[in-house]
Structures are given as C-alpha cells and as structure tokens.
Structure 1
Amino acid sequence: MTDEGIQLAAAMAWPRLGGFWRRLLASLIDYFVVLVPVYSLVTGLFLFTDGGVKGHFWLNWRICSTASVHGNPSLEAYNWQVCKTSLLGFPVAEWAIGTAKDTQSEAAPAVSLDLDPQGNFRPTALDLGFLELPILAIYLLVMEMASGQSVGKRVLSLVVHDEYDWHRTGLSLQKAARRQVIKFLGAVPVTLTGAWFAFQAWRSMPGLVSSYSKVEIVCAFAAFALALIWPIWIGLSIASGNEPIHDRVADTSVRISEIHE
C-alpha cells in the first residue's frame, strides 16, 4: 500500500468528533473539578487572614439575612443585610449591604462593606475571583499535555488529538498552550478587569461603594460582553459540526474514544 493509501486508511479509522452536548458536559465537570479546590483554598485564606481575602466566582451561592447596626448614626440610616458565600458551610466571602431608609435624602442608595469572620466591618478584602479562569486554563493545559484528557473528557470518553500525530498520547507544550490561550482569549479582558478592580479596592477603608469613571464602566461592560460572546461562538461552531477556533489554530481535534489506536 502506498503512503497515500496508508494515510487515507488511518483517516477513515478516526473516531467520531465529540459533539456539542458531550463536550459541554465535559467542560462543566472540569469547571467543578477546579472550582471545589479553589473554593477550599480561598476559604482557608479567608479564615487565616481574618477576612482579608475573599472570592466571588462565576457561580456564587449567596445567602442574605437581615441585620442591624448600633452605635454609629451614619450607618443607622441604612437597612442592612449580611450576605455570605460559603462552601459546605465555610465562608469564602462575607459582606454587608445597606440601602438608605430615606430614599428622598442625599444619602447613597446602597452601601457594601466587607466583614471579617466575626461579622465586624473591616478594610476591603482582596477578591481572588479573577483567578478562577486562569487556574482552569492551567489545569486543562497540564492534563491535555499529560494524556490528552482532562477529568471531564475522561468521564465523557473524549480525547484531544494532535492532527499531525494521531497516535501521540497528549499534546506538546506548544499546541496545548496555543489551544488554551485561544479558548480563553475572550475571558482575558474580563480577568484583567477583575484584577484591576480587586487591587484598586484592596485595603481601602470601609465606606460607600467605590465610584468608577465612565471609561472604567464601559471597559468593564465590553469585557463582560466579550467573555459571554466568545464561548457562545465556540459552542455554535461545535454544534454546527465544525472545529472551534482553538482547535483550528492549534491543529488539534477532540474525538470520541471508540477504538484502540
């Protein structure tokens, strides 16, 4: 058999492309695989730093309850709620939200103040929520280099292949890095925006909600919009039977593990 015949036979033996729902479920599994340890780490830092570190992530379970403030006339002008985000009962962020009792006054309509684990007001904590997607990208990079499979892909029987080295186990560093950079390219602006706001507010004294310029607000809105549009575009590409942009750029393909290679 000629070289062209061998290549054609090998191409015909390739497993099917991973479909939209299978890849979506694998991505959700990987998200929670990363989210649980990140939540656990931030929970430990929240307690260790007396509330100096917190985390607001894409999926937040927030519980709020009514509270009262005594001894400070300026704070007594607000109706207060204490809100908490926690993992298995352990807090990862805790803050108080105040709304002005007299809506006709010149008082600010809303106030948000960070709390320590004992429920006391404290200087603004450092929000590590912006690290969520970079950590997810690093996790996928390492797993796909090692075996071509993350935990989610392994559960859903998916494998990332190198288009030019079909029988290779795992991806090269260059291809794996290129794949993750392009996949998360839409989230880069919102990650940088989140880091900017987090460090801007860090260690500022308790007070009214920070005011931002129109430029900062527009940039934040544009970054958030891109972070939503990018994965939707990737999902539409997969749903239509085409390779998404990160696989096209990296020369990779996600296939169902059906046969022995």
Structure 2
Amino acid sequence: MVNSDNAATQVGFWETVQRAGFWRRVLALFIDIIVVSLPLQILLIVLFAQTNGAVQGSFGINSTSCVSIGELPTGLEPAPPPGFNSIVECQTSLLGFDTSHSLRVAEVNQDGSVTTSIYRDYTLGADGRPNRAFTTDWIAILLLFAYLIFMDSRLGRTLGKRALNIRTIDIDAQASTGIPLRKAFLRQLAMLIGMIPMIIIASVMFFKYLAGADLTSLTNRSLFSLMIFGGLIEAVWLLWIVMSVANKQDPIYDRLAGTAVVRT
C-alpha cells in the first residue's frame, strides 16, 4: 500500500521546486571541468618542461596549433603508414606553456567527395624529437568522474552546481544532503550508455593494433560503417538527453539512478 502521508509530502515537495534547466547544467559542468583540470594542467606544464615532454596531456581548456612539415623526424617507432603524404606537427598549450607535442603521419586519399585517411600518431618531446611519452588525459577524465561522484554523494552539489544554485537530490529522500554513493556512481555511469557501441569498436581496434594488425585492416569499409552506426547511436542518445533537460524533464540517466537536479 502507498503511504498517503508520504505521497502527499512528495507532491508538496515537487510543487515548490523546479528542475534545473539546460544552460544551468551545462555551465555547472563547465565550471567543474575547470575546477578539476586547471590544477592538473598547471602541474602538467611543470612536468612537461622538467621531463622534456616525457609526461604530457591535452585535456582541459587549451589551445592547439598545427603545422604541416615536409620531413619526418628520425627515430619514429612503429613505422609510419606506407605511402604517407601528410605530416602534421601539433603543440597544445595553456597560456603559451606547452602541455603536449605530437606528430600525425597520414596517407590521405580523395575519391570523389569521400576522403579517407590512414594515420599514426606519435608523441614528441619538448625538443621535437620522437619519444614514448606518458599521456595523462585518461587520469584527468577519471579524476573528473571521481570528483562528480564524490561531491554529489557527500553534498548533493559540485562547486559548479553551487555557483549555479542547483543540486542533485535523491527522489526517495528529497530532504537529505547528498545522494547515496551507489546512485551517484550509477548516475555517472548511465550517462555513458549511448557511447557503448563506440567504446566496443574502439576497444576492438586498439587490441587489434596491439596484436600487430596493419593500419589498412583497421580502416576497412565494414569497420568504417560500424563507426558511423555507433556515432549515430551516440548522437541520438545525446539528443534525447538534451531535449529532456531543455524541457525540464529528468533525463534518462537521472531516471535510471532515481535522482533529479533541481534549482535551490
């Protein structure tokens, strides 16, 4: 049986609050990305300079400049794609301080209106020489997810949400501060459901690459079609979320987790 007092309390609660809109959520996330990434980027600037580019990353708010060059640097491993016709060198920086230095060697082919590219990326040191740098982008992503989960679990709001006067609540306990850790984790995980096909495709390509597959086999037409299919699923998933939030409805990941984001 439904507890009538509890039901009445819930109805009364939803009559006094508003769901957070699209731009409040987006701006809150933007602030949170800066909160997490900026200290890491400052540390990365120091590490990049001190290790001659042995530690690098291209996450966060940055600028990237690329230039085509005419000659390959010596010492590239593994070998570039056979028949390459494009060499592009890129530098990523924050306020003029380098955080990443890379090289892309590609074979670009034009067939009517369709352009295909087989490429291999390399990391370069601060001196422009090839190296096997430790990239930190994945660490920044993991820390961002950990921060979002921890703050929602403990306080129900991140620093970005606090700045935009919104918070995450547990549908089953609206008055509680924070949400259960399980729900906070499920909420972040559910956001990625639409990316599962692309994650699977990328994982297959990565393990084939580690097993020694040549680049041509990783860019065949069937795999390209699968990537388009995965990209469409991801786009539809994102559009569904955006439309739900824009209409001030709980997006699918909030419904799966039993949470909501409301204005305070």
Relative to the length of structure 2, the TM-score reads 0.70
Q: Residues 241-256 of structure 1 correspond to what in structure 2 (within 5 A)?
A: 241-256=248-263
Q: Does structure 2 conserve the Cα–Cα contact (< 8 Å) formed by 1:126 and 1:198?
A: no
Bigger shift: residues 192-201 or 30-39: 192-201
| Secondary structure in structure 1 of the residue aligned to 2:19 | coil
Q: Residues 222-237 of structure 1 correspond to what in structure 2 (within 5 A)?
A: 222-237=229-244
Question: RMSD of the TM alignment (CA)?
Answer: 4.0
Bigger shift: residues 82-91 or 151-160: 82-91
Partner residue, 2:157: 149
Q: Taking structure 1 as reference, are residues 229 and 219 closer, same or farther at Cα in structure 2, changes over 3 Å only? A: same
Is residue 119 from structure 1 mapped to residue 119 from structure 2 by the alignment?
no
Bigger shift: residues 168-177 or 20-29: 20-29
Alignment deviations for residues 30-85 of structure 1 (CA, whole Å, 9 cap, x no partner): 2232332343454455445543443344866211246564997xx9x977553201
| Aligned residue pair count | 242
Partner residue, 2:16: 14
Is residue 37 from structure 1 mapped to residue 45 from structure 2 by the alignment?
no
Partner residue, 1:165: 173
Q: Taking structure 1 as reference, are residues 71 and 26 closer, same or farther at Cα in structure 2, changes over 3 Å only? A: closer
Q: Does structure 2 conserve the Cα–Cα contact (< 8 Å) formed by 1:130 and 1:195?
A: no
Q: Does structure 2 conserve the Cα–Cα contact (< 8 Å) formed by 1:130 and 1:192?
A: no
**C-alpha separation in 1, matches of 2:203 and 2:62:** 18
Identity, in percent, stands at 27
Q: Does structure 1 conserve the Cα–Cα contact (< 8 Å) formed by 2:73 and 2:129?
A: no
Alignment deviations for residues 87-108 of structure 1 (CA, whole Å, 9 cap, x no partner): 22232221235679xx9xxxx9
Q: Residues 17-166 of structure 1 correspond to what in structure 2 (within 5 A)?
A: 17-47=19-49, 49-57=51-59, 61-65=63-67, 67=69, 69=71, 81-97=88-104, 112-123=121-132, 125-166=133-174
Q: Does structure 2 conserve the Cα–Cα contact (< 8 Å) formed by 1:43 and 1:92?
A: yes
Q: Taking structure 1 as reference, are residues 92 and 225 closer, same or farther at Cα in structure 2, changes over 3 Å only? A: farther
- The gaps in structure 1 that reach 5 residues or longer are none
Q: Does structure 1 conserve the Cα–Cα contact (< 8 Å) formed by 2:53 and 2:124?
A: yes
**C-alpha separation in 2, matches of 1:84 and 1:10:** 55
| Secondary structure in structure 2 of the residue aligned to 1:95 | strand
Is residue 184 from structure 1 mapped to residue 192 from structure 2 by the alignment?
yes
Q: Does structure 1 conserve the Cα–Cα contact (< 8 Å) formed by 2:33 and 2:60?
A: no
Q: Taking structure 1 as reference, are residues 71 and 97 closer, same or farther at Cα in structure 2, changes over 3 Å only? A: closer
Bigger shift: residues 166-175 or 211-220: 211-220
Q: Taking structure 1 as reference, are residues 201 and 110 closer, same or farther at Cα in structure 2, changes over 3 Å only? A: closer
| Secondary structure in structure 2 of the residue aligned to 1:171 | coil
Letter in 2 for 1:154: R
Bigger shift: residues 160-169 or 91-100: 91-100
Q: Does structure 2 conserve the Cα–Cα contact (< 8 Å) formed by 1:126 and 1:199?
A: no
Q: Taking structure 1 as reference, are residues 136 and 220 closer, same or farther at Cα in structure 2, changes over 3 Å only? A: farther
